[in-house]
Structure 1
């Protein structure tokens, strides 16, 4: 079962997921719902471990989580690097131990507090809030970049709107989002399109509404970024699951 809510941290989402053995499938195989690229990074609590999920450029299938209660704080695109203290591109397509980024002694103390907490999701959110209070705020210019690209503007038009040259925008995007603005635009467009699919729109209508050239364009992007056909996505995410409620874009769980 997957659940999420808005965080007390601006722009973030707090989520929880419990994967039953039935939902995970027989044996030690992967859980059925892949994590799809969304431009975000997550702070994770999984089976007593604290981890960070970097920005994805391809679908990620979590393994070894059957029977585990997972919690996470999913940060808005560009918001996590200042809080975590590491450029996003260093964590691209990776899941790493939080102790590799922060003081191991501090992480041991945080781990003990979360293990004793009645609600690990709330406790994890508190960790993020305390860390954010002592960290530089996210760059508002890069928030404007996300807004422009998510509105369907071209990379060139977005760069002009925020007053950056193409090279400057690319360099700052690597640090903030983990990849360049063209990749971020593709990821955000795919998420828009799949939201329309989940809402019941036809593939062709979803493609046009999200800014794709046509349904074939959306189908290619879904295969490239999500590792799924449109039909497979619709069956896995839009239809009610028998044993587990699927998450909208894939919570970032890992072994």
Structure 2
């Protein structure tokens, strides 16, 4: 069972998952980084450029805080590109003794998700606020703006935008734009929009473009991904022959 809700930390999401043993599903790139708790361990999930497929999860409770795109490096104290496509112990980033104490506190809490959120809020209060530029970049790209238009809007040249994006997101703005576009398409499909219509509404040229993006970023078809997540969708197989099926 999975649940999520808005965090008291601006733009962040708190989530929980209860696993009864063996269940797993692919985690697609979303432009975000997470601080994760599972009994006895605190981990950081870095920014993904491809689907992360975990090993079969043992039974137990999991909790996480998903930071808004571009904000996690300010709280964690490490550039995002250093954690790209990685899952690392928090003790690799923060002093080991502090991490052990924090982990024990969350392990003992009646509500680990709430305890994890309190940890993040304390950290945020003790650090300088995130640079406002990365969230603005993510907002523009997430709304379907081109990289060039986004660079103009935030007042940066292409090279500076790329460097700033590596630090904030773990990859350049072109990759971030692809990731956010795919997430828009997935949300539209989950809401019941046919594949072809969702592809165009999200900013893809057509359904075949969405299929290529799924293969490139997720390593699977849209139908396979939705089936793994237990989501039913309208594949709209009656589309003209010029739009190849995503299934």
TM-score, normalised with respect to structure 1: 0.89
Aligned twin of 2:186: 194
Aligned twin of 1:93: 85
Aligned twin of 2:228: 236
Instruction: Please list, as runs of the form range in 1=range in 2, the aligned pairs for 1:51-70 lying within 5 A after superposition.
Output: 51-70=43-62
CA distance in structure 2 between the aligned counterparts of 1:96 and 1:70, rounded to whole angstroms: 16
Closer, same or farther in 2 for the Cα pair 1:112/1:142, shift >3 Å?
same
Aligned twin of 1:115: 107
Aligned twin of 2:26: 34
How much does 1:138 deviate?
A: 1.4
CA distance in structure 2 between the aligned counterparts of 1:49 and 1:64, rounded to whole angstroms: 17
Aligned twin of 2:245: none
Instruction: Please list, as runs of the form range in 1=range in 2, the aligned pairs for 1:1-255 lying within 5 A after superposition.
Output: 1-21=1-21, 24=23, 31=24, 33-237=25-229, 239=231
The answer on whether the counterparts of 1:222 and 1:228 sit within 8 Å (CA) in structure 2 is yes
Unmatched 5+ stretches in structure 2 = 233-247
How much does 1:89 deviate?
A: 0.1
Corresponding pairs, count: 232
CA distance in structure 1 between the aligned counterparts of 2:230 and 2:107, rounded to whole angstroms: 34
Aligned twin of 1:250: none
Moved over 3 A (4+): none
Q: Deviations over 1:192-242 (max 9, x none)?
A: 0000110111110000000000000000001111122022123233636xx
Closer, same or farther in 2 for the Cα pair 1:151/1:238, shift >3 Å?
farther
Higher RCO (CA < 8 A, seq sep 6+): 1
TM-score, normalised with respect to structure 2: 0.91
Q: For residue 43 of structure 1, give the secondary structure of its aligned residue in structure 2.
A: strand
Bigger shift: 223-232 or 188-197? 223-232
CA distance in structure 1 between the aligned counterparts of 2:103 and 2:33, rounded to whole angstroms: 19
Closer, same or farther in 2 for the Cα pair 1:182/1:225, shift >3 Å?
same
The answer on whether the counterparts of 1:197 and 1:234 sit within 8 Å (CA) in structure 2 is no
How much does 1:137 deviate?
A: 1.1
CA distance in structure 2 between the aligned counterparts of 1:197 and 1:233, rounded to whole angstroms: 12
CA distance in structure 2 between the aligned counterparts of 1:114 and 1:141, rounded to whole angstroms: 32
Q: For residue 138 of structure 2, give the secondary structure of its aligned residue in structure 1.
A: helix
CA distance in structure 1 between the aligned counterparts of 2:231 and 2:133, rounded to whole angstroms: 38
Bigger shift: 34-43 or 58-67? 58-67
